[in-house]
Amino acid sequence: MFIQLLVPCYQWDSLCLYKEEIRNSANALSEISNQFVTLLGPVIGGIFSSLHIYSVGFGIDALTFLGSVLSLLCIKVYREAEKEPKFSLRAFGEELKEGYYEIRTKTLFSP
């Protein structure tokens, strides 16, 4: 349930990491790896738990965390040259109003 709160951040992150030419392939590989880990992670953890080898499970967890940290340190963010629009109070108010109307149109918040 809470993963849905992180999906927009994850999608934005993939826009910054991958160039447009390879974005579809990169998203597909990323999703395949997520599904693979989701499928095999609990199985491997269950095997170690059933064998009462908790220290091996914690060691693998620590190594994967270290690998994640090292891989995050190696990421180079791809940024396209963008012109930032000048701030205007009128445009901000219009965007705020559009966002309010968008939220009101959703079934959860509609009267």
Residue 78: its pLDDT value, please?
65
Token pair 């509609």 in the structure block, residue? 110
Residue 66: its pLDDT value, please?
93
pTM of the prediction?
0.45
How does 11-27 read in b/e, with b if 16+ C-beta sit within 10 Å? eeeeeeebeeeeeeeee
Average pLDDT of adjacent 10-residue blocks, the chain of 111 residues: 64 73 83 85 81 80 88 76 72 85 68 56
- How far is residue 106's CA from residue 36's CA, in Å, rounded to a whole number? 34
Residue 46: its pLDDT value, please?
82
- How far is residue 68's CA from residue 14's CA, in Å, rounded to a whole number? 16
